[in-house]
């Protein structure tokens, strides 16, 4: 029962985070492009396409996590996305670049605090990806195994 | 909620929330550094002359926008003074800029360019006046000195700072991009190539 509640909570938290962060980026594509260029990692030609499409990936992931369909696959995708994002943040921080995090707002500088906070977000994604909870969602494969 | 209903509901909700209607403040044509007020795209920049990021944004990005888009009246660039309290000479430089603005666009652009280009120089030794005098002819410089004594210069700067605070400007540069009835706020600079791609998309 506890595991099922945790599973449900993880889904809701993760979906909420992806929906919110996707939404703020879609609302301000140029601001998000400015954040991406601030990382000094991507070529200028790639920044606008990334700013256009990346937020929709977050929204799609948020919706799919909320629905609960094939949840383990999409939780793995969420882990990969969060890990990639954490890598970018860590690289930028270690290079000593004073850049915006672009995580929950556009006035959040990259710091150990923001990196720590984003690492915490990885926990519910890892929980959903790694822990099988019988009858916890609409994942047919999972239900069958249970 | 089942999948067929949930997805369209969420999409509709998102579409409704994404559109940010422009709350265009009153601006006049004399505030345009380049372009006309009725240009399809308008950029409003809140900037501080002593801020290194503002220098980079003006010299590397805005000057190119002025040359490429404002000259064809496709973009209007408006500059608002936003001297930060922790920059001891920013207000002095803003006063010179505001006085130059009242002489005309040509003089204003020349003074802006000089203040940003020689930022390190005057920020080090306080030689704002010397830097400005280099780019104005003696008549314009004498006129500018006269206008600096006008108390309405400070009042105009205060109004622009108040406008920035009202629009929640907390750091410089912060700019607002208006196009097609929508407003977008950007904190910090953006490379010219990115802004160029974005403006081209809006114009086309």
pLDDT in tens, A7-56: 999 999 999 999 999 999 999 999 999 999 999 999 988 999 999 999 99
Residue B11 has a pLDDT of 52
Residue A102 has a pLDDT of 82
Number of domains within chain B:
1
Q: Do A31 and B17 touch (CB under 8 A)?
A: no
The residue to which tokens 């900037």 are assigned: B47
In a domain, B143, yes or no: yes
Sign of the four-CA dihedral B192, B195, B198, B203:
negative
pLDDT band at A143 (very low <50, low <70, confident <90, very high): very low
**Which residue in A21, A23, A26, A30 has the most chain B C-beta atoms within 10 A of its own C-beta, making it the best mutation to test that interface?**
A30
Residue A78 has a pLDDT of 95
Residue B22 has a pLDDT of 54
In CATH, what number is assigned to the domain containing residue B43? Answer: 3.40.30.10
Complex ipTM value? 0.78
pLDDT in tens, A68-127: 888 999 999 999 999 999 999 999 999 999 888 888 888 788 999 999 999 999 999 999
Q: Tell me how far apart the alpha carbons of residues B188 and A101 are, in angstroms, rounded to a whole number.
A: 12
What are the chain A neighbours of B191 within 8 Å (beta carbons)? 37, 44, 47
Range of the domain at A138: 2-145
pLDDT band at A3 (very low <50, low <70, confident <90, very high): confident
Tokens of B204: 């086309």
Q: Do B190 and A37 touch (CB under 8 A)?
A: yes
**Which among A43, A70, A74 is positioned nearest to A61, based on CA atoms?**
A74
**Which residue in B190, B192, B193, B195 has the most chain A C-beta atoms within 10 A of its own C-beta, making it the best mutation to test that interface?**
B190
Residue in B10, B190, B198 closest to A63 by CB: B10
pLDDT averaged over every residue in chain B? 89
Residue-wise pLDDT tens for chain B (204 aa)?
454 555 555 555 555 555 555 555 567 888 899 999 999 999 999 999 999 999 999 999 999 999 999 999 999 999 999 999 999 999 999 999 999 999 999 999 999 999 999 999 999 999 999 999 999 999 999 999 999 999 999 999 999 999 999 999 999 999 999 998 899 999 988 999 999 999 999 998
Q: How is the beta sheet containing B174-179 ordered, strand by strand? A: B32-34, B75-81, B41-47, B174-179, B182-187
**Chain B residue with Cα closest to A24:** B18
Residue A142 has a pLDDT of 47
Q: Do A30 and B188 touch (CB under 8 A)?
A: no
**Which residue in A31, A52, A65 has the most chain B C-beta atoms within 10 A of its own C-beta, making it the best mutation to test that interface?**
A31
Residue B53 has a pLDDT of 93
Residue A70 has a pLDDT of 87
| Under 8 Å between Cβ of B30 and B161 | no
**Chain B residue with Cα closest to A107:** B187
Residue B14 has a pLDDT of 56
In a domain, B49, yes or no: yes
Residue B24 has a pLDDT of 55
In a domain, B14, yes or no: no
Q: How far is CA B72 from CA A143, B51, B76, B199, in A?
A: 63, 29, 10, 13
In a domain, B161, yes or no: yes
In a domain, B73, yes or no: yes
Residue A134 has a pLDDT of 72
* Neighbouring C-alpha atoms within 13 Å toward the C-beta of A54: 22
In a domain, B1, yes or no: no
In a domain, B5, yes or no: no
pLDDT in tens, B74-98: 999 999 999 999 999 999 999 999 9
Check pLDDT > 50 for residue A137. Answer: yes
More confident residue, B90 or A143: B90
Cβ contacts of residue A93 below 8 Å, gap of 6+? A110, A111, A112, A115
Percent of chain B with pLDDT over 90: 79
In a domain, B4, yes or no: no
The model's pTM is 0.82
- Distance from the Cα of B73 to chain A's closest Cα (Å) equals 21
Range of the domain at B99: 20-203
Percent of chain B with pLDDT over 70: 87
Q: Tell me how far apart the alpha carbons of residues B180 and B130 are, in angstroms, rounded to a whole number.
A: 42
Number of domains within chain A:
1
- Distance from the Cα of A81 to chain B's closest Cα (Å) equals 22
**Chain A residue with Cα closest to B5:** A67
**Which among B8, B9, B25 is positioned nearest to B183, based on CA atoms?**
B25
What are the chain B neighbours of A107 within 8 Å (beta carbons)? 170-171, 187
Q: Tell me how far apart the alpha carbons of residues A103 and A82 are, in angstroms, rounded to a whole number.
A: 11
């Amino acid at each position: 029962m506890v595991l099922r509640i945790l599973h449900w909570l993880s889904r809701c938290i993760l979906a909420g985070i992806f929906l919110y962060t996707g939404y703020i980026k879609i609302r301000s594509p140029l601001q998000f492009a400015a954040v991406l260029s601030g990382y000094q990692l991507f070529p200028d030609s790639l920044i606008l396409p990334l700013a256009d499409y990346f937020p929709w990936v977050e929204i799609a992931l948020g919706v799919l996590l909320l629905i609960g369909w094939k949840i383990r696959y999409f939780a793995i995708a969420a882990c990969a996305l969060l890990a990639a994002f954490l890598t970018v943040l860590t690289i930028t921080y270690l290079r000593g670049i004073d850049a915006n995090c672009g995580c929950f707002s556009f006035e959040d500088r990259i710091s150990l605090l923001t990196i720590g906070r984003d690492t915490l977000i990885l926990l519910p994604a890892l929980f959903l990806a790694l822990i099988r909870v019988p009858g916890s969602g609409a994942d047919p494969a999972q239900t069958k195994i249970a | 909620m089942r999948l067929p209903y949930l997805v369209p509901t969420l999409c509709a909700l998102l579409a409704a929330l994404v559109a940010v209607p422009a709350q265009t403040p009153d601006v006049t044509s004399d505030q345009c550094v380049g372009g006309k007020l009725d240009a399809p795209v308008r950029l409003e920049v809140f900037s501080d002359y002593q801020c290194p990021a503002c220098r980079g944004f003006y010299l590397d990005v805005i000057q190119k926008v002025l040359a490429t888009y404002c000259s064809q009246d496709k973009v209007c660039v408006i500059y608002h003074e936003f001297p930060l309290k922790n920059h001891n000479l920013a207000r002095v430089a803003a006063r010179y800029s505001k006085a130059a603005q009242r002489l005309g666009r040509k003089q204003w652009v020349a003074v802006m360019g000089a203040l940003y280009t020689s930022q390190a120089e005057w920020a080090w030794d306080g030689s704002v006046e010397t830097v400005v005098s280099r780019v104005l002819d003696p008549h314009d410089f004498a006129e500018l000195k006269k206008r600096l004594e006008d108390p309405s210069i400070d009042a105009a700067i205060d109004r622009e700072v108040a406008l920035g605070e009202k629009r929640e400007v907390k750091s410089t540069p912060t700019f607002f991009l208006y196009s097609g009835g929508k407003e977008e706020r950007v904190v910090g600079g953006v490379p010219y190539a990115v802004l160029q791609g974005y403006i081209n998309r809006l114009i086309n």
